[in-house]
Chains A and B, each alone.
Chain A
Amino acid sequence: MEALLSLSNDLAGAVERAAPSILAVHARRRLPSTGIHWRPGIVVTADHTVRMTEGITVETADGRSRPAALVGRDPGSDLTVLRVADLDGAPAALGDDAALRVGHMVLALGYGPRASWGVISALGPRWRTWRGGEIDRLVRLDLVLYPGFSGGPLVDAGGRVVGLNTSGLTRESRLALPVTTVARVVDELLRKGHVSRGYLGVGMQPVRLPEPLRVGLGLPGDGGLILVMVEPDGPAARAGLLLGDVLVALDGVPTGDLEDVQARLGGDRVGSTITALVVRAGARVEVAVTVGERPRRGGS
Chain B
Amino acid sequence: MSATLTAEPDLDALGAAASSLAVELGRVTVEVRGGGRRGAAATVGAGVVWHPDGLILTNAHVAHRDVTVVLADGRSWSARLVARDPQRDLAALVVDASGLPAARIGDSGALRVGELVLAVGNPLGLVRALSAGLVHAVGPRAIHADLRLAPGNSGGPLADARGHVVGLNAMIVGGLAVAVPSREARRFVREQLRG
CA gap between A252 and B12 in the complex, in Å: 54
Tally of A interface residues using CB under 8 Å: 34
Q: Which residue of A lies closest to B176 (CB)?
A: A146
Are B9 and A105 in contact, with the CB atoms below 8 A?
A: yes
Interface positions of A from 1 to 28, Cβ below 8 Å from B:
1-5, 7-17, 19
- Any chain A CB within 8 A of the CB of B144? yes
- Name 7 extra pairs, CB < 8 A, besides A146-B136, A159-B2: A3-B13, A4-B17, A7-B14, A7-B116, A11-B134, A147-B174, A158-B4
Are A10 and B136 in contact, with the CB atoms below 8 A?
A: no
Residues of B within 8 A of A9 (CB): 115, 161
Q: Chain B's nearest CB lies how many Å from the CB of A155?
A: 10
Are A7 and B134 in contact, with the CB atoms below 8 A?
A: no
**Chain B interface (Cβ within 8 Å of chain A)?**
2-6, 9-10, 13-14, 16-18, 20-21, 112-116, 133-137, 144, 146, 160-163, 174-176
- Asked, given contacts A4-B116, A8-B160, A158-B4, whether A116 binds B136 with beta carbons under 8 Å apart, the answer is yes
CA gap between A113 and B174 in the complex, in Å: 17
- Any chain B CB within 8 A of the CB of A263? no
Are B134 and A115 in contact, with the CB atoms below 8 A?
A: yes
- Any chain B CB within 8 A of the CB of A291? no
- Map CB proximity to B onto A92-118 as digits: 1 under 8 Å, 0 otherwise: 000000000000010100001111110
Partner of A3, one of B17, B115, B160, B175: B17
Interface centre among A4, A11, A158 (most CB of B within 10 A): A4
Are A11 and B3 in contact, with the CB atoms below 8 A?
A: no
Partner of A146, one of B2, B10, B174: B174
CA gap between A258 and B162 in the complex, in Å: 56
Q: Chain A's nearest CB lies how many Å from the CB of B161?
A: 4
Are B116 and A8 in contact, with the CB atoms below 8 A?
A: yes
- Any chain B CB within 8 A of the CB of A144? yes
Are A1 and B21 in contact, with the CB atoms below 8 A?
A: yes
Residues of B within 8 A of A10 (CB): 3-5
CA gap between A14 and B16 in the complex, in Å: 24
Q: Which residue of A lies closest to B10 (CB)?
A: A3
CA gap between A158 and B77 in the complex, in Å: 48
